[in-house]
Structure 1
Amino acid sequence: MEEMMRSELVSMSSYCRRYGHLKLHDFSNPSFKKTKYSPTKVFVVSSSSSNSTSPPPLPQNPIFQSFFFPVTPSPIIPYLQHCSRNTKKRKFTPSSSSGSVKVISREAFNAAVKKPSVAVKKPTVAVKKPTVAVKKPIVDVNKPTVAVTHDRGVRKSSSWVKSRLLGKGGYGSVYLATSKDGRYKTERAIKTAELSRASSLMDERRILKRLKSPFVIYCYGDEIVREGTSDCYNLILEYCSGQCLADVIEDNQGGLSEFDVKLYAKDVLSGLSYIHDRNIVHCDIKPDNLLLTPVDHRFRSNGFLTKIGDFGLAMEKGSVEYGNGCGHKRGTTRYMAPELIGHGVIDFAVDIWAFGCSVLEMLTGVQVWGEHGDLVYDDWVSLIGHSDLIPNIPSWLSEEAKDFLKRCFVKEPNARWGINELLNHPFLSSNQVFSHNGFIYE
């Protein structure tokens, strides 16, 4: 018996040296019926050996079994044997990194692969953009905004090159400018002001775009340009190289000849007739705003045509701004009519009064109301608006000239002569013949 046990131990030790050590599990439980030994269900062979072939089953010797397994088998063994009959053999895939054999079930793998992937649909959040109620501003049609420009935007540079300053006033400045187009060296007068202070120039543009008369300065458009750190509004106007009547009066001490005054006066009345027919009141007629442009001597003996300029204070009758024509204060105080400076009433007659003041300065060479010196505004209101005085008419003027001026200086606006009556006055409609440089004029 001992010899048999010794031989079994020798064979067992040889087996372990070749195929690795065995892990023996003791399933001790209450006594069950002894079952046939099944090494594949009990022993787990370590894969630490370099031999990749599966070890053979242990020797099937009853003495060996009784020696190493004297205990009664666990009830788990028959259960495993029972389950092994109904289960297909599984394929073992040894892990290269682990020291033990990991059993992966093909059925479990396939089941995991075949599991339907749950597509987690992200909820679509409908972000409702807030509706901003943009209230459109109420725009007075008689008060133009920046949108009056043709290009509706700010240009990086102007289309004109300013060369010299022609004049300066409360509205801004006037420059002589030349076109950048090399083919045409066109000259224009550019009225410019900062965009924030250009309301008067925009008003002038709104009025001038409707007017096309040889006796009214022509407007070629406007632009907004970036100059330095600010935006500037440029009004592009016809350039009258013959200066203005104020400069001509200053250059001719003692006044102009009646011949020249009649020519200028007719032009101004023709321009006023044109704008009055379009319900426009200029509100600022004076020698500074009466411009001279050269013409052929065959058409004018003095070589100049008079044009009305500067419509920055002009008003259109029937507009919202004009209203009922009352409560307005605009114009140059020295040339304002009594009803305008005293009561704020604007009508066509205020241009007739201012026209008479301009003719008086042309004839005398002296500023109207000059004998009263420089007055403050309230004194002007008292002098012109609430007194019976009219501008001084020198006695040395011709009777026709004096009577013509008196018709312009009637205090009551409804009794003041109109344009057609003044054009037919003997001072302007005389048949006296004049000659100049070989040409005959009536």
Structure 2
Amino acid sequence: MEMIETEISFSGYLKRYGHLKFIELSDPPLTKRPRYSPSVIPPLPDQNPIFTLKLSPIILKNNKRKRFTPKSSSSRSVEEITKQVFDGVVRKSSSWIKSEFLGRGSYGSVYLATSKKAKTKTTMAIKSAEISRASSLMDEERILTRLSSPFIVRCYGHEIAREETLFGGERTNYNLILEYCSGKSLFDLVNDNLGGLSEKDVKLLARDILYGLDYIHRANIIHCDIKPENIFLTPVENRIRPSGYVAKIGDFGLALEKGSSEYEKASGHRRGTTRYMSPELIRHGIVDYAVDTWAFGCTVLEMLTGQQVWGEHSDLGSVDWDILIGQSCYLPCIPDWLSEEAQHFLSRCLKRDPASRWRIGALLNHPFLQCGSIIVY
């Protein structure tokens, strides 16, 4: 990474983790937006400003299979828990009390849980599945334990425990222990704001997601299922961020490490959620970093409009989806009431040709993301 004293390119990823700093940048007042409607994207003036951010000198660290080590007192209790619980044995009962059902997916169920052993009631999210059906959770843990970023949901390991069923029986469950993001998901936030989020809030959340994508792509990992449901929100003070949240990427059950045997086996096969799949993924099963960029663009579009991407085609069957996304010349509709910078930003993410899609570093340098409050780790 090229460094000029304490100034670095905004596209250079911040691989130093410590305390938060907040840098307030000016943001022009937003005008009231008209109703959602199709548009032709106007050209952006020919300019390519270099946006830099003053930081203290950065120390690049090698993150090979190095787990995140929490520093706060409450996090130290989590570290103690991981030493006590995850010893590779099948427990007679779980070390966690599942207090609230949070959701269900193809992998199993998610619960809010607290530790039975910790002196302080540490809260975690538990992804749970019967051991015979837990391959997706095992894959997710294998990926997540390699990662340590403030923009990625943290994983604290797993336990295998015998647990009672609702009908009085017993089964052996694989429990994946994850950071609990109490702000819920980006999907929930968008649903609560059906007219769309403000551009100021979208800029902040989009930048968080890009930081996370940049980090995992540098680790040769492709997420393969970026969408609002898989972006989780951690609350921060409202005086720092109007939206009150920092975004973190989660749900790595479909993620692939480029060059791995799993990646080679997945070549030619689709992965992810159809509505957010890129044209090359649907048509040819091509899995590369650009599929995450396309899905990210769809996610940002939903944040800005409050409307589901391809919402005007919600009644299509699977074959019709193949034709619409994989074979036609159509693109998701970008409304003309968005700012020119927002429209241009989305158009760089949603190129049908993956080679023409902007890379994550270039998107981080885009003028659309240059205003707002930046979180420095």
State how 1:243-322 maps to structure 2 within 5 Å.
243-297=184-238, 299-322=240-263
State how 1:77-96 maps to structure 2 within 5 Å.
none
Give 2:297's match in structure 1, choosing from 330, 353, 356: 356
Q: Identity of paired residues, percent? A: 64
Give 1:343's match in structure 2, choosing from 279, 284, 295: 284
| Aligned twin of 1:200 | 136
Separation in structure 2 between the aligned mates of residue 165 and residue 367 of structure 1, nearest angstrom = 26
Separation in structure 1 between the aligned mates of residue 207 and residue 262 of structure 2, nearest angstrom = 30
| Aligned twin of 1:144 | none
| Aligned twin of 1:151 | 87
What SS does the aligned partner of 1:413 have?
coil
Give 2:162's match in structure 1, choosing from 222, 226, 248: 226
Give 1:421's match in structure 2, choosing from 356, 362, 372: 362
Which structure has more strand as a fraction of its residues? 2
Separation in structure 1 between the aligned mates of residue 282 and residue 86 of structure 2, nearest angstrom = 37
| Aligned twin of 1:179 | 115
Match status 1:170 vs 2:170? no
Separation in structure 2 between the aligned mates of residue 261 and residue 340 of structure 1, nearest angstrom = 26
Separation in structure 2 between the aligned mates of residue 374 and residue 352 of structure 1, nearest angstrom = 25
Query: Contact between 1:325 and 1:347, CA under 8 Å: does it hold in 2?
Result: no
Shift, 1:297, TM fit: 4.7
Gaps of 5+ in 1: 1-148
What SS does the aligned partner of 2:178 have?
strand
What SS does the aligned partner of 2:261 have?
coil
The 1:299/1:274 distance shift into structure 2, 3 A limit, reads farther
The 1:186/1:313 distance shift into structure 2, 3 A limit, reads same
Separation in structure 1 between the aligned mates of residue 110 and residue 217 of structure 2, nearest angstrom = 26
The 1:154/1:301 distance shift into structure 2, 3 A limit, reads same
Match status 1:408 vs 2:344? no
Shift, 1:298, TM fit: 6.1
Question: What is the CA deviation profile of residues 275-305 of structure 1, one whole-angstrom value per residue up to 9, with x for unaligned ones?
Answer: 0000000000000000001134565443311
TM-score (norm 1): 0.63
Separation in structure 2 between the aligned mates of residue 200 and residue 284 of structure 1, nearest angstrom = 13
Separation in structure 1 between the aligned mates of residue 364 and residue 131 of structure 2, nearest angstrom = 41
Aligned-partner residue type, residue 225 of structure 1 = A
Shift, 1:374, TM fit: 3.0
Shift, 1:266, TM fit: 0.2
Shift, 1:179, TM fit: 1.1
Question: What is the CA deviation profile of residues 7-53 of structure 1, one whole-angstrom value per residue up to 9, with x for unaligned ones?
Answer: xxxxxxxxxxxxxxxxxxxxxxxxxxxxxxxxxxxxxxxxxxxxxxx
Shift, 1:153, TM fit: 2.4
Query: Contact between 1:408 and 1:416, CA under 8 Å: does it hold in 2?
Result: yes
Query: Contact between 1:317 and 1:325, CA under 8 Å: does it hold in 2?
Result: no
What SS does the aligned partner of 2:201 have?
helix
What SS does the aligned partner of 2:262 have?
coil
The 1:255/1:236 distance shift into structure 2, 3 A limit, reads same
Query: Contact between 1:193 and 1:233, CA under 8 Å: does it hold in 2?
Result: yes
| Aligned twin of 2:41 | none
| Root mean square deviation, CA, Å | 2.0
Say which one has the larger Rg. Answer: 1
Separation in structure 1 between the aligned mates of residue 224 and residue 131 of structure 2, nearest angstrom = 24
